[in-house]
A and B are shown apart, each in its own frame.
Chain A
């Protein structure tokens, strides 16, 4: 304010002083050459050049002039600013005369300089000697007058030049004359500039005052008329209030009201029925209470009325009620009056249709606003952080699952115009604009979503839930489809998607591998959109976490589900395996290798080694979408790792059993089956090598599952082919078909026990009967009605073929049977038979007994009682039996020979025994070896050497003579040839001791005595046994001779 006033003061004084340049020729005010920047309200005053007065703003005065200045003027305003070129103007305010002069002079000179060569260039008829310094001018002069064209041209040029520049210099003269006043005019200009500045100041002051007034509005105190207000509020009127004297209208009687309403009803009905062309959406109306009420379902009820039947008369707005929830009440307020005014304007301008459009748009916009408000509330409540609300002009965009990685998903609520795309309007009339929702699922708009929303009762949360339910359903179905495709129609995989149209929590995907135990439920959290799996295990929890981090969680989940299922399966199997004592071998086998070996998809796998298993065998549990399968895998360690040689599947129906005892039972079965399979497989291979027909028969399928689990495959093979080498020509003792069944597994010894079942051939029942009577062994059993079925137990070490033990076992049986049949054929009396031992009697009335033992894997052992004469040749007999043991045919021959020997050599052997005992009757009880040898005995008893079962040598010491005894068959009779060994086999040592005459004579006599003999031998048949004693008597007799 002070600054403003000072300016005004300056202005006023300045205006007064503005005359002074004129009046006083500027003596007191102007100071040429002085310039100062002007700062509003802060002018520095400098002393005038020629004295006078100057003042300092504020009132102190210095008087120094010759003019008597009134006191008020002593307080002088600052000097007027002189305007010079140096002021901040974009162009020069003044031109310097000096510059002007120089320029014109220069121009004139340049023109002259240009003119002269130009003139010289114009040729003129030359005359010799007439050249002149100035050239052409002179020549022209002497020419033929001034009439040549060039001459004229030159003259014109010269004249134009001179004239042009003369004009310019004349103008310069004028300027020069004027310039004498230039200084005064400059002052005028300064004053003029100052005046303009002052004018600007005035305008600025007016502006400032206006602004000030406007700003002061805030500072004014309100002064309500409280007294009047109190009076009016208390008593209803104030005595000092002017009374207008209006006459209140007469109240309407009910009859009149009724009449008015009826008239109104009639008018409305008439107009609407007869005159108005209502659009489709306004067809629902009813009249009553003097008004007509239009109902637009889901939007509003509109009451209008009319005062006239005339179609041109306007409709009047009465009331509006919203028909959706939550809807605002329309109170009697500013909004209502504005609405009413606007509605009436629209009604009068475009009638009911226009009013409908207006209100319809109002409702649509308001619905969006309500949804937006609800969405904002949701962001502050339990949906916080997972939805994002963005109003876009009239639409509303709500993005959900904001925390999820990958593409965004959102819904867009907006208004679609009812205009059809092809521009055609249906016969029903144009459709009004409507609310619509566009759903973008992971950045892609879903056109065929089938979403429908309840626009009558608005709930953003319900809308979101609905959309999310659809989204989750889509996700789960996609996952289901992918898993099913990946499973390639495996029947055990059961998938079920439960969807809900409204509740996202009800959408779930249930996947299992046939039983509920492996069931995994996949859910999606409606708020965050993250996957969740039930039951929750450490494995699934980790997968959930990964899924939330992956960009394409659907793909991730569809890949993960098989793993989760298989992991739960594997988990339960692992637990039971631990209980069963299965160990996990530390073997590095890649899943690929396993997949290649088992030739099916492998999602997960576990390797086990049960107790008693050898290093190169493992049991593999393979888990995939078809459940679990069990494989016996033979491995081989190599430099690069573990190599799978074979993989054999253990068939079981256990793929879906997962719980506790049942699973353990299954796994026990699996273990048994695996052991059996391993052995059977090895056996099969060896049977193939030997070209023995065989077949492995799985248990019949007709049984129940639980029974089937226990059953183990049986191996059938052709016994004939298997025993072909053993039996050769012999009659087979068993039916061709034999069955091998698994019996047990010895964990400690790591041996597998199998039973071989078969049926005896006809004709062997007798022997069997004998065996059965005698047998107490568990190794071989005979069953059935006729005891014709037998069962032999065979064991082999783990992982090896049964072939060798089996064939050994069967050979023993063969041997046994052969032995028995031969004994029987010889009419030996069999005392006792076990599969390993036969005791029989032979000789006269079974006087002699023998025992043959067949210990497994050991030589046959033959034992005689001490009194048996065959003790002497026992070693030879045993060797004979053992020699051909592995060739059944030869063995049979050997057994035959053995029995033959027993029979054939019995008399001779007995004779030899009696030879050792001169009085057999007396010596029978005495053991041979322990008898006291008398000198006589030594003389008469020869040393007996058994060279073979049927070849003996008897050597006498005194006289020194030896005899060879050989068993021969002559004319179906067994005949012993006894001859002088010196004759047949001359002994060099015997020759050294020449025989005495008596001996030779005696021998001759001996040989002769027997008529059938020759010079040096005699025949001795068993038939003439009694004579043997004579011979020995002879010997004895002759000894002394």
Chain B
């Protein structure tokens, strides 16, 4: 038997939600013995579903950031979290890119200056620059 997936969990969750909803309704529209029986059925079903979910749960190997839980807890859409995450990541990426380019320039200029100032180091400087992805203009 394949390990239960998130879909199974979804189904079980939905069943529990249904049970709870039925309970509410039954309690609200109480009509004596039939209602009592129905309620009993519902509760039994709820317990069963809870049990199922409990046994399924350990097999779900998914981890989510606590921020997402917090979002849901406060009734916000977790997709917003996803989106914000994306945007922030893009920003950082661009910043880092700029920095790396600026450093690459610095590296080149520095290399040039060092080679001019201390010609003896030319070979070393060249090697360093090339191994770091730059080119040395002769």
Contacts and interface: CB of A to CB of B under 8 A. Distances in A.
Interface of A: 1-2, 5-6, 8-9, 11-16, 18-19, 22, 59, 72, 85, 92-102, 105-106, 108-109, 112, 132-134, 137-138, 140-142, 146, 151, 155, 158-159, 161-163, 165-166, 169-183, 185-186, 188-189, 191-192, 195-196, 198-199, 202, 205
A203 to B, nearest CB: 10
16 contacts: A8-B103, A8-B132, A13-B133, A18-B93, A18-B97, A19-B93, A141-B30, A141-B32, A169-B13, A174-B72, A176-B9, A180-B6, A182-B62, A189-B65, A198-B96, A199-B96
Contact of B133 (A12, A19, A137, A165): A12
Contacts of A2: 128
A192 B28 contact: no
Contacts of B112: none
B60 A195 contact: no
A95 B69 CA distance: 9
A413 B104 CA distance: 67
A134 B39 contact: yes
B35 interface: yes
B64 A94 contact: yes
Contacts of A92: 66
Contacts of A105: 50, 53-54, 57
B64 A179 contact: yes
Contacts of B23: 158-159, 161-162
Contact of B57 (A102, A169, A175): A102
B31 interface: yes
Contacts of A179: 6, 60, 62, 64
Contacts of B78: 174-175, 178
A163 to B, nearest CB: 6
Interface in B88-136: 88-90, 92-93, 95-97, 99-101, 103-104, 107, 128, 131-133
A195 B47 contact: no
Interface centre among B23, B27, B39, B60 (most CB of A within 10 A): B27
Given A5-B107, A13-B133, A100 B69 contact: yes
A541 to B, nearest CB: 80
A540 to B, nearest CB: 84
Given A141-B33, A175-B69, A169 B17 contact: yes
A176 B12 CA distance: 11
A95 B57 CA distance: 13
Nearest to A85: B63
Interface pairs A-B: 5 shortest CB-CB: A141-B32, A94-B63, A101-B57, A166-B20, A9-B132
Contacts of B61: 96, 98
B86 interface: yes
A75 to B, nearest CB: 8
A105 B56 CA distance: 11
A851 B137 CA distance: 172
Given A11-B100, A155-B28, A180-B6, A98 B92 contact: no
Nearest to A171: B72
B95 to A, nearest CB: 7
Pick the most buried of B6, B65, B95: most chain A CB atoms within 10 A of its CB: B65
A523 B76 CA distance: 100
Given A94-B63, A141-B36, A158 B27 contact: yes
B63 A95 contact: yes
Contact of B58 (A102, A173, A178): A102
B138 interface: no
B32 A11 contact: no
Interface in B23-45: 23-24, 27-28, 30-36, 39-40, 43
Contact of B62 (A1, A96, A108, A188): A96
A96 B100 CA distance: 37
B77 to A, nearest CB: 8
Given A11-B100, A159-B23, A178-B72, 18 more contacts: A15-B93, A15-B97, A22-B86, A22-B89, A85-B63, A92-B66, A102-B57, A105-B57, A108-B16, A134-B39, A137-B40, A151-B30, A166-B21, A169-B17, A176-B9, A176-B13, A182-B63, A199-B92
B10 A177 contact: yes
B50 A137 contact: no
Contacts of A170: 17
Contacts of A182: 62-64
B89 A188 contact: yes
A189 B82 CA distance: 10
B107 A8 contact: yes
Contacts of A161: 23
Contacts of A169: 13, 16-17, 20
Could you say which of A109, A151, A179 has the most chain B C-beta atoms within 10 Å of its C-beta? A179
Nearest to B97: A15
Nearest to A189: B65
B51 to A, nearest CB: 8
A96 B103 contact: no
Contact of A108 (B34, B50, B99): B50
A15 B99 contact: yes
B96 A173 contact: no
Contacts of B31: 141
Given A101-B60, A162-B20, A176-B6, A15 B100 contact: yes
B93 A172 contact: no
A166 B19 CA distance: 9
Contacts of B13: 169, 172-173, 176
A202 B99 contact: yes
Contacts of A72: 133
Contacts of A93: 65
A18 B89 CA distance: 9
Given A5-B128, A171-B73, A178-B78, A16 B97 contact: yes
A100 B32 CA distance: 37
Given A141-B31, A141-B35, A5 B131 contact: yes
A162 to B, nearest CB: 4
A10 B4 CA distance: 41
Contacts of A101: 9, 53-54, 56-57, 60
Nearest to B96: A15
A95 B97 CA distance: 32
A512 to B, nearest CB: 93
Given A12-B103, A132-B36, A173-B14, A109 B47 contact: yes
Given A5-B131, A8-B103, A185 B97 contact: no
B72 A175 contact: yes
A191 B89 contact: yes
Nearest to B99: A202
Contacts of B17: 166, 169-170, 173
Contacts of B2: none
Contacts of A85: 63
B95 A95 contact: no
B39 A137 contact: yes
Contacts of A195: 89, 92-93, 96
Contact of B96 (A11, A134, A186): A11
Given A5-B107, A15-B97, A162 B27 contact: yes
Contacts of B6: 176, 179-180
Q: Which of B20, B39, B40 has the most CB of A within 10 A?
A: B20
Contacts of A6: 131-132
B28 A159 contact: yes
B104 A12 contact: yes
A142 B14 CA distance: 32
B1 interface: no
A141 B39 CA distance: 11
A166 B104 CA distance: 57
Nearest to A18: B93
Contacts of B62: 96-98, 179, 182-183
A16 B132 CA distance: 13
Contacts of B43: 112
Contacts of B20: 162-163, 165-166, 169
B93 to A, nearest CB: 5
A184 to B, nearest CB: 8
